[in-house]
Amino acid sequence: MSGTPPGATYNDIYGQLWFPCRGGDFCGIQVDISDPDKRKDVALRVGTILQGRV
């Protein structure tokens, strides 16, 4: 999936993005925006930022 953090998985139905964190764990975020295109875009941008910090 283009623009996703490496190793990430996105669930369109729930707006959830799961991605590998430091230390081998997985982190997840859920974006609650009614527009599915905006929801995915926000989830991917936030996930990419967080992946470098957690």
Domain ranges across the chain: 9-51
pLDDT of residue 25: 85
pLDDT higher than threshold 60 for residue 1: no
pLDDT value for 32 = 92
What pLDDT score was predicted for residue 48?
Answer: 83
Closest CA to 28 of 46, 41, 12: 46
Using one digit for the tens of pLDDT, what is the confidence trace for 2-54?
556 778 899 988 899 998 887 788 889 999 999 988 998 999 888 888 876 65
- 10 Å CB burial of residue 48 (0-12, 13-18, 19+) is middle
